[in-house]
Amino acid sequence: MSSGVTILSARYGVGTSTVDVKSALSSQTKDGKINLVISPSSLNVDDPAPGQIKTLTVEYSINGGSSNTESIKDGNYLKIDAPPERVASGLQIVKAEYGYQDNFADVTDAIQNYVSNGSISITVSPSTVGIPDPNPSKPKFLKVDATINGATSNYTVADGKKFTLSAPALDTGATVPVRQTVASIYSTVWSATLSLVFHMFWFSTIFLVMDFGQLKFGTGGKWGFAAAAFIMPIVFPVILLPICIFWWRLFSTADVYF
């Protein structure tokens, strides 16, 4: 499952005069980010309803989660910021305030409590954010600062409107770079080769010292040398035995060679 933003559908126009702009919008998605002013030229389409205010309705998902829908009128910005990450942290509420101009109350804890598995769906109201209506005669708003996969996003939702967003966390650590994979395979093959060479040499030295022990000291020497070579691989047949033979030849006239 991929992280970041995926455009599911997008239509632009008014009433029945709309055109599909999914491909155009997807092409403007770079590193999980979209930031453009809505117009026919920015969407690379002919004006479907000249002289009328048109709306872009886009449905998208973040980190493969539930779909999110936004409707933006001509001249306004569409901003989505959900970059793909190796570990996609999903939706995190950083700060939330509710109220009206120059009179906002902090409701961060209340909004954070509504987030479940990276998704939130609430209808904005004083009761929802857990405070008394600060001024019944004034239009109020919920302002939310959030991060999606570590990137900052800001939302302003009017009283009575729904705030719905889905951006679940996603671990994509299974994706391993090709270079790292090749290096891992090379390391495994190299280790296996060295292990095979070592064991072949080890067993060869055991059989060699067994023959030497049998020739010079009989059956007891055969099995004694075999045990020494098994317990002390490399050390006994390559280092200790040649030293013993050297000193034996130096102080004895007996022939200890094969």
DSSP notation for 106-169: E-HHHHHHH-BTTEEEEE-SHHHHTS--S-TTS--EEEEEEEETTEEEEEEEETTSEEEEE---
159 and 136 in a single domain? The answer is: yes
Let me know if residue 258 belongs to a domain: no
Let me know if residue 137 belongs to a domain: yes
19 and 69 in a single domain? The answer is: yes
Q: What is the pLDDT of residue 210?
A: 84
| Stronger pLDDT, 115 or 151, i.e. the higher one | 115
Let me know if residue 241 belongs to a domain: yes
Q: What is the pLDDT of residue 85?
A: 57
Question: What is the rounded average pLDDT of the residues 20-34?
Answer: 84
In the predicted structure, residue 100 carries a pLDDT above the cut 70: yes
Alpha carbon distance, N-terminus to C-terminus of the chain: 68
Question: Sorting pLDDT into bands at 50, 70 and 90, what band is 116?
Answer: confident
Which residues face 170 on adjacent strands?
Answer: 88
Residue type, 236: F
93 and 171 in a single domain? The answer is: yes
Output the furthest CA–CA distance in the chain (Å, rounded).
119
In the predicted structure, residue 52 carries a pLDDT above the cut 90: yes
| Of the listed ranges 114-118, 153-157, 244-248, the one predicted with least confidence | 244-248
144 and 101 in a single domain? The answer is: yes
Kindly report the average pLDDT of the chain as a whole number: 83
> Residue 210 has which token pair?
């067994």
Query: What is the rounded distance in angstroms from the CA atom of residue 9 to the CA atom of residue 28?
Result: 14
Query: What is the rounded distance in angstroms from the CA atom of residue 139 to the CA atom of residue 203?
Result: 87
In the predicted structure, residue 124 carries a pLDDT above the cut 50: yes
Please write the tens of the pLDDT for every residue from 151-164.
Answer: 788 899 999 999 98
Under 8 Å between Cβ of 153 and 146: yes
91 and 56 in a single domain? The answer is: no
191 and 137 in a single domain? The answer is: no
190 and 214 in a single domain? The answer is: yes
Let me know if residue 256 belongs to a domain: no
DSSP notation for 72-105: EETTSEEEEE----SEE--EEEEEEEEEETTEEE
Highest-pLDDT range among 74-78, 88-92, 94-98, 111-115: 94-98
User: At which of 125, 150, 175 does a domain end?
Assistant: 175
> Residue 99 has which token pair?
């109220």
**Closest CA relative to residue 63, chosen from 173, 150, 144, 166:** 166
Q: What is the pTM of this model?
A: 0.45
117 and 55 in a single domain? The answer is: no
What percent of the chain has pLDDT above 70? 87
182 and 235 in a single domain? The answer is: yes
Question: What is the rounded average pLDDT of the residues 1-28?
Answer: 86
* Total domains, the chain: 3
State the angle between helix axes of 178-231 and 241-251 in degrees (0 to 180), rounded to the nearest 10: 40
Tell me how crowded residue 247 is: count the other CB atoms within 10 A of its CB: 10
6 and 64 in a single domain? The answer is: yes
Which residues face 100 on adjacent strands?
Answer: 103
Let me know if residue 257 belongs to a domain: no
| Stronger pLDDT, 113 or 31, i.e. the higher one | 113
User: At which of 84, 117, 152 does a domain end?
Assistant: 84
Let me know if residue 239 belongs to a domain: yes
Let me know if residue 74 belongs to a domain: yes
Domain containing residue 117: 87-175
Region of residue 150 (phi > 0: left; psi between -120 and 50: alpha; otherwise: beta): left
How many C-alpha atoms does 212 have within 13 Å on its Cβ side? 21
What percent of the chain has pLDDT above 90? 33
Q: What is the pLDDT of residue 174?
A: 44
Let me know if residue 16 belongs to a domain: yes
7 and 76 in a single domain? The answer is: yes
186 and 157 in a single domain? The answer is: no
Q: What is the pLDDT of residue 108?
A: 92
Q: What is the pLDDT of residue 111?
A: 93
User: At which of 62, 84, 106 does a domain end?
Assistant: 84
Q: 21 to each of 26, 30, 83, how far by Cα in Å? A: 8, 16, 21
Query: What is the rounded distance in angstroms from the CA atom of residue 241 to the CA atom of residue 228?
Result: 10
